[in-house]
Structure 1
């Protein structure tokens, strides 16, 4: 089996916006430099946490291009290139490749898309021909298409299809994917330590925006098989990861990142910043993380 290309923590970085709702590239550079200094060595640009669905095609491509330029080879760069039309996905993937991305994450066809396995296989095969490693994105509760163990096994036969990111939130089903022996990445923040123990090969983690140092520490402890340390670190992270998983995920991640010094402004409309009456609960969930991340 070849070596996995995107092990450990892949940060689904929040896209920063200014007060007018435009992408704030100055803040993007500032945050990327801080994450690099914290030890982050892989970024996912235009992620769900990065508000991909609320970026225009041109904005997403600009974000990927500028982000890759800022990283400048100091970390890996993955780009989300999901779109409704397969032709758009292929074009976005080719442009991400030319901008310096080393892989792409792509949703299966969504919004009344096909549910037949062969149609999904054909879709990913066409995307993979654009020339970048493709990470499938399993989030059935939002898309209506589930990547099953049987489908993952078939997808993994496509040259260029390298892994599936599972954000379904069901540890039992994720473990079934892992047992196929194919590469699986966890995308459900509240499952991180359990997913690592189950054998996930990597993490695409939005919650790491507000606690990158602690998140990297838990990944390192798991890699060393130090599960006692993993549990102790997870005690620090669990309250916040549980909170963001209860709803208003993106808004809560943006609010928490502001409190730990990785502010990205407010989410873009139609989302709004978290209401003031909910900030104390976010602050309480972070507890010692604020001080720990500032060290």
Structure 2
């Protein structure tokens, strides 16, 4: 869809933390400016990679406010506004709109929430009434709700519901969503080139924190339908993107970003920094990316 509002690479930016565990807004600004300098298309603030569930509401809203101020229209801004209470999701979404965000990403109701299609539709309809384009989130292994092609068709009838982000990690199921002809964003790092080839509408990509140059080069090659070049670039990215998907995802992104010069400090408790052997495995998987991204 040519009018899809969030094409290309939307970076699920890691939230930087200082030694005391507080958000390091100075480092956030430094990293955003560096990502903007290589033409990242959009940013997801308070993303899963950015540790949304381990931020207080006040911290998340301040992150959205500060991030939107720094970006200042130079790229698209998507804010995650997920919460347990529907009313709080609506309030957070209105706050994102006030900050100038272009859209929001929202998990379906989780932790014993409704799993029937009508319950999911009702939830997103209420959130969409807050006034911003809404990206739904298909991550069934985390929340117990699966967005099927039939449910996606219902959701896309809601005014302001603009896409689903698929982080299921199952390319076949993502392809079935894409075949509806409705907007689907890939959120599984190890599937990026395959999702682009299948025709996804855009990417929300956490691993791009540590390899923005190579990631953008891949997106550019795919847009040009230069699949040979895309495969060459993916051969550089694939070892690390596959490794982080195997487990300890957030901690691995933080560690890899440190290795390539986009440091964000240690992830917040209860997550722990990676052990040294895992960091060394990441270093090997990154290979030439460390020099390329420097």
Separation in 1 of the partners of 2:126 and 2:17?
Answer: 33
Residue 42 of structure 1: CA displacement? Answer: 0.4
1:255 aligns with 2:258: no
Q: How many residues align?
A: 294
Partner of 1:140: 140
Partner deviation per Cα, 1:189-233 (whole Å, 9 max, x = no partner): 000000000000100000000000000000000000000001000
**Which stretch of structure 1 is more off in the superposition, 277-286 or 210-219?**
277-286
Partner of 2:278: 278
Partner of 1:179: 179
Partner of 2:190: 190
Separation in 1 of the partners of 2:145 and 2:168?
Answer: 11
1:75-86 equivalences under 5 Å are 75-86=75-86
Partner deviation per Cα, 1:28-50 (whole Å, 9 max, x = no partner): 00000110112112000000000
User: Which SS does the other structure have where 1:11 is aligned?
Assistant: strand
Partner of 1:118: 118
Partner of 1:22: 22
Separation in 2 of the partners of 1:272 and 1:26?
Answer: 23
Separation in 2 of the partners of 1:161 and 1:2?
Answer: 16
Separation in 1 of the partners of 2:242 and 2:197?
Answer: 18
Q: Residues 274 and 35 from structure 1, CA distance in 2 versus in 1: closer, same or farther, beyond 3 angstroms?
A: same
Partner of 2:71: 71
1:57 aligns with 2:57: yes
Partner of 2:127: 127
User: Which SS does the other structure have where 1:32 is aligned?
Assistant: helix
Partner of 2:40: 40
Aligned-residue Cα RMSD (Å) equals 0.7
Contact 2:7 2:41 in 1 (8 A): no
Separation in 2 of the partners of 1:239 and 1:69?
Answer: 35
Runs of at least 4 residues of structure 1 off by over 4 A? none
Per the normalisation by structure 1, the TM-score is 0.99
Partner of 2:92: 92
Residue 2 of structure 1: CA displacement? Answer: 6.2
1:212 aligns with 2:212: yes
User: Which SS does the other structure have where 2:136 is aligned?
Assistant: strand
Per the normalisation by structure 2, the TM-score is 0.99
Partner of 1:150: 150
Which stretches in structure 2 are left out of the alignment for 5+ residues?
none
Contact 2:9 2:216 in 1 (8 A): yes
Contact 2:15 2:28 in 1 (8 A): yes
Separation in 2 of the partners of 1:173 and 1:273?
Answer: 32
